[in-house]
Amino acid sequence: MKKIYLILFIFLFSKVISAPVGNPFNPTLIEQGFFISPSSIVNFRVGYEGNFVNDSKFKKSLNEKSKIDDFEQDINSGTFTLNFQNRLDVLTSLGASRIKSNWRFDESDVSKRIELETNYRFYYALAARVILFEWGNTALGAGGRFSKTKPSIFWLLKDGTPQDENEADINYKDWQIDLGLSHKIDIFVPYIGIKYLDAKAKIMNVNTIISENDLNFIKMKSRNKFGLYLGTSLSNSKYFLLTIEARLIDEEAISIFGELKF
């Protein structure tokens, strides 16, 4: 049976593999739901996911020595999770995302600064999580996630001067895989793990120069691909689950998850 779950997990992420992670014990933390029997092969959960990225730690794709000073992202979304025999979770997340960013570049040997903020626009993510090994109150789990959003620019400043960029937007996407360890301590379930995150963003068709070489576009990507995550979940094994998580090194972010099992 474990081989079947592993094959299904690999299949799900052979094409779509961000960037909240979650508890390795997630598939089995809520044992009893409101309606569905605990012995059921398939059950489901619904919930909320708040993802607040203080800095994605980007660099410019065309000039890798030049970093993006700041790239923030706020995401609020609802989640729907299908669970298979309390071993495998398959999740979809739908919501809204907003991005703030700023960076510097040289134009005609003069340093320029760009600042921008987007509107809240549609965001979606697909994810899966599987418990690989479980012994006693400890579990080793793996997961993967893909997410994408394309918010339009609300305002853009160049050296503090507003620019007319109502037609421009930011195309952001990322994918992530992770491996984590979790341990149950009564109603608390702390966890820690490592992850690989590949995030990219691009701003195209801007009406003003926003990057080196007099370009009216900019492409960004992750400076660090490997990161650390840690958090803790709270659950009495019945009906609900609450998780708080922090992610470090490759990004600076905090996430809050809440779920109900039916």
CA distance 262 to 177: 28
Q: Is 6 exposed, middle or buried (0-12, 13-18, 19+ CB in 10 A)?
A: middle
pLDDT at 18: 46
**Percent helix / strand / coil, the chain, rounded to 5:** 5, 65, 30
pLDDT tens across 78-117, in order? Answer: 999 999 999 999 999 999 999 999 999 999 889 999 999 9
pLDDT at 105: 95
8 Å CB contact between 46 and 78:
yes
pLDDT tens across 123-147, in order? Answer: 999 999 999 999 999 999 999 999 9
Res. 153: pLDDT tops 80: yes
Residues with Cβ within 8 Å of residue 226, at least 6 apart in sequence? 194, 195, 196, 197, 249, 250
8 Å CB contact between 222 and 250:
yes
> Which pLDDT band holds residue 62 (cuts at 50, 70, 90)?
confident
CA distance 205 to 203: 7
Rounded to 5°, angle at Cα 128 from 187 and 21: 55
pLDDT at 91: 98
Radius of gyration of the chain (CA): 20
Mode of pairing for the β-strands spanning 240-248 and 226-234: antiparallel
> Which pLDDT band holds residue 1 (cuts at 50, 70, 90)?
low
Helix (H, G, I), strand (E, B) or coil at 123: strand
pLDDT at 21: 95
8 Å CB contact between 198 and 178:
no
